[in-house]
Every structure is written in structure tokens, then in C-alpha cells.
Amino acid sequence: MWLSLIAIVMGTFVAVLNSSLMNVAMNKFVSVFGSDINTMQWVITGYTLASAMVIPMSGFLGARFGNKTIFVYSVAGFTLFSGLNGLAWSAGSMIAFRILQGFVGGFIMPIGMSIIYSAFPKEKISTAIGLWGVAAMCAPALGPTFGGYLIQNFSWRLLFFINVPIGILAVIMGKILLKDSPRKMGLKFDTPGALLSMTFFGSLLLALSKGQSEGWTSLFIVSLLYVSVFSLLLLIWVELGSKNPVLDLRLFKNFKFTISVISGSLVMMGMMGGTFLTPLYLQNIQGLSAMQTGIVMMPQSVAMALMMPISGKLADRFGIVPLCMVGLSILGVTTLELHHLTTDTPNHWLDTLLTIRGIGIGLCMMPLTTAGMRAVLPQQVGNASPLSNVCRQVAGSLGIAIFTAIMSNRQVVHYSHISDSVQVDSLIANNTLSMLTGAIYSWSVDTATATGTAAAYLAGFMQKEALVRSIADTFYLSAIPAFLCIPFVLLFIQRKKAAAPAAGVKE
């Protein structure tokens, strides 16, 4: 039983590692293929969209063909397209392979979770899920640092080839160690539900990922949001009337499962805020490389990974509510503290705060998921897992979209305030400009060039200060999901049943 978990952990690890490796490689892909950053972002966006579109179908496929079969073929397909990505000859071929990789690899995490909940006894599920969560947290810790090292010292192709031996080993172990699950023959595929769910999640995630660059009021984004809203309404109508729905929305009638999905989604939003903002600060403000940024962020991911199995044990001993209350409080308070970031904040202060923040996330993430999955019937696990996974994925994308918009807006506001407070004819501005001009004039050709360069430097300093203030403001607001989650966690408190009347007592 525990050996089978190794195969699931390895499959999850290779999928999450591959995604985290891509975040540091965009500039390299742009230079290698002579493309632009907006085009190459589809290496990440295309995979995310494709995987989100197929996640809802994992419940049906697992029931019809068996969880083991789907998991093994999903890891095999992911590994195959990882190798093809390493052989990519153009931007178009890489994007196409990544989209196909998302379609086949999107089943790995929801099916892996379903196998764990169906294969392990109830008292051991928390520990198993905690160990499984280690893979999901260790991979992001290694990704930026390892990816930066490979790009800097070897070839970008190794970012994909490195997954091949791990994936092959995961397939072999899955074949040998995983047990076949019962198959339900004669299940009719919910084609309308599948098409509508793909339309909804695809259009919504595309709108969220491209809203800031395209403009939230642009025809493209508004059309996508319009399509997503109406496809969602049709999806709800179709799925509630289907005997074998792709997405079993009736699971939301289960109070504990619904609370688990909502609170888990809020934690995901808060976590993604830090994951998105911290690299921006370290690279754009402090000028760190991708590899150096990964090293700074690694202790946070390691703390999360170490806390995953520990949180499972603690949840079994003390219960979900006290553990999550502590974890969410740590997450909220440390995120609020990141509001004090400045251009010269020491990295050791940031590192310490992020590590404590990682402990908070590790304490509450898996117990919240486990609480919801334990609340459903064993035969409903196959449908509950994809529904929970896709909701958290949408929440993460929504969080990044919201925080990006907030950061951009606050940067404009702060730059305007700085410009208003530092007048061109003020003594401070003139002294600063004169000092910069004098420094530049020592190696410049003429005074005019030195003055123009000094003015550009001053404007750059103002932009940098506006950016760091906007990042600090966004960190402040990204703490809100953690605090919003606390009332939902309190709903997990169970009232003690009234004691039965003593024997022999007449009513």
C-alpha cells in the first residue's frame, strides 16, 4: 500500500516540477526562437488551459477504465510530450507540444488523489495525503533554482529531458505497484457536459491570464467572459439533469465538501499572491537572477513540504479547526508583514518571513482538502477529486489576475504621487539631477547627453519606487483571503450530540 504511494508521488513530482521549470525559462525561449514574450507565455498558458479543460473528465475516465490505467497512461503521455518539447525546433512546435502535454497530463493530480482516498484506510489518509503533498511542494522549491542552473550551465532542452527518466520510472512503478480499481462498464459519456466544462474553464482561464495584457474592457476579454458565464449557466443546467455528469455539481449539497472547496480556494489565492509577487520584487527591484531568486524562495517551499506530513498527523490528533486556525493566522499575519517591503529590504528578513509563511500554508492546505474528501461517500471520491482540483486551479488563476490588476493600478497611483511630491523645480530634484549629471559627465561626451541620461535615471528611480510600493500594497491585500477563510474553517466545528437518556428512565 505504501509502496504504491511512491508511484503517485513520482508522477505528481514530475508534473509539478515541469511547470515550475518553465517560469525561469521564458527569456531563454524568446532569444532561442527569435520570438516575443507574449507568444512564449503560451508555453505556460497553453499547458494550464489544456490541463484545466480535461480535469473534469478524470472522474468518468477513472470509473470507466480504472484509476490505475488512466494514471499510468497520463504519466506516460506527459513523459512523451516532455521529450518532444526537448526536441522542439520552433516556438510554434513547443507551444503545440505543451498544449498536448497539458491534455494528457492534466489527469495526474486528480486521479492520483482519487487513488489515495480509495486505496488507504480512513485513519491513514491524512498521512498519505501529507506525503503526497511533499511532491507538490518540493517541486516548486527546486524548479526555479534547478532550472536557472540548467539554463546557465547547460542547455534549455534539459528542462524537458530531465523529466523523461523520472516519468519512465513512475510509469514502471505505477504498472507494478498500483492496484486495479473496479471499472463501471456501460457508463455513458456526458458529451454535452464535457464540451460545456471545457468551454467554461478554457474561456475563463484564458480571460484571467490575458486580461491585464489585453485590457479588461477589450472586446477579446469581454467576449471570453461572456462565453464563460453563459457556458457555466448551461453547464449547471445540463449537469444537474444528467445521471452520469462529468462534473457532479450535486456534491456541493454536501456542506463539509463545499466548505472545504471554498476555504481551500481562498488559501490557494493567498498562496499564489506570494508566489507571484515575490519573484517580481526580487528580480525587478533587487536585480536578482532567476537562480538567485529560487535560492531565496527555496526555504519557504521546503517549509511547506516538511509541514505537509506533519500537518496530517497533527490534524488527526488535534482536529482540523485548531490546526487550520493557527496556519491561517500565520499565513495572514506574515503576508501583512510583507507590506513593509522597501527597495533595500534585507534578503534574510524576507527569507525568514517567507519561511514562517510557508509553515502556515503547510499547516492548513492539506487538512482543508482532506476534510472535504473525507465528507463524501467512497463511491463519490472519483468525482469529488477533479471538482476540488479544478476549483482550486481556477482560484489560483483568479488570484493572480486580481493581484496583477491591483499592482498595476497602485503603481500608476504611486508614480503620480511621487511625481506630484517631487516638483521639477524643487531644491531636492535639482540637487539630485545636478549630482547625477556630474557623475555621468565624467564619462559622457557632452553636458546635454549627461543631463538627459541623469533625467532618465531619475525617472527610473521613481518608477522603481512606485513599483516596490505597489508590490507592498498588493501583499497587504493578498492577506485578505487567509482571514476570510477563518470563518469558513469554524463551520467545521461539530456540535456534540446530546447524551442518550439513561436506561430505565421513563419519558
Give yes or no for residue 253 having a pLDDT over 90: no
Q: Which CATH architecture has domain 1-187?
A: Up-down Bundle (1.20)
Give yes or no for residue 80 having a pLDDT over 90: yes
Give yes or no for residue 254 having a pLDDT over 80: yes
Q: Which residue has the cell 549630482?
A: 435
Q: Taking the complete model, does pTM exceed 0.85, yes or no?
A: no
> Average pLDDT in the 217-230 region?
90
Per-residue model confidence (pLDDT) at position 431: 58
Residue 205 or 76, more confident: 76
Residue 124 or 326, more confident: 326
Cβ-Cβ contacts under 8 Å for 143 (sequence gap 6 or more): 16, 17, 19, 20, 21, 23, 24, 294
pLDDT, tens only, 267-304? 888 887 777 788 778 877 888 777 777 788 788 878 88
DSSP for 155-207, please give it: -TTHHHHTHHHHHHHHHHHHHHHSPPPP--TTPPP-HHHHHHHHHHHHHHHHH
CA 339 to chain centre: 22
Q: How confident is the model at residue 374 (pLDDT cuts 50, 70, 90)?
A: confident
> Average pLDDT in the 440-447 region?
54
Identify the helix (H) or strand (E) that includes residue 449. Answer: helix 447-478
Domains 1-187 and 263-493 in one fold:
yes
Q: Which residue has the cell 539630485?
A: 432
Helix axes 191-214, 381-421, angle to 10 degrees: 10
Give yes or no for residue 392 having a pLDDT over 60: yes
CATH 1.20.1250.20 fits 263-493, yes or no: yes
Per-residue model confidence (pLDDT) at position 84: 92
Query: What cell does 196 get?
Result: 460545456
Q: What does the DSSP 8-state code read for residue 31?
A: H
pLDDT, tens only, 313-325? 787 788 888 888 9
CB 42 within 8 A of CB 95: yes
Cα(193)–Cα(198) distance, rounded to whole angstroms? Answer: 8
Per-residue model confidence (pLDDT) at position 504: 46
Radius of gyration of the chain (CA): 25
Residue 462 or 228, more confident: 228
Q: How confident is the model at residue 20 (pLDDT cuts 50, 70, 90)?
A: confident
Per-residue model confidence (pLDDT) at position 499: 45
pLDDT, tens only, 402-432? 888 888 888 888 878 777 666 555 555 555 5
Per-residue model confidence (pLDDT) at position 356: 92
> Average pLDDT in the 27-41 region?
77
CB 79 within 8 A of CB 105: no
pLDDT, tens only, 231-250? 999 989 988 888 888 888 88
Q: Where are the domains of the chain?
A: 1-187, 263-493
Give yes or no for residue 505 having a pLDDT over 60: no
Give yes or no for residue 502 having a pLDDT over 50: no
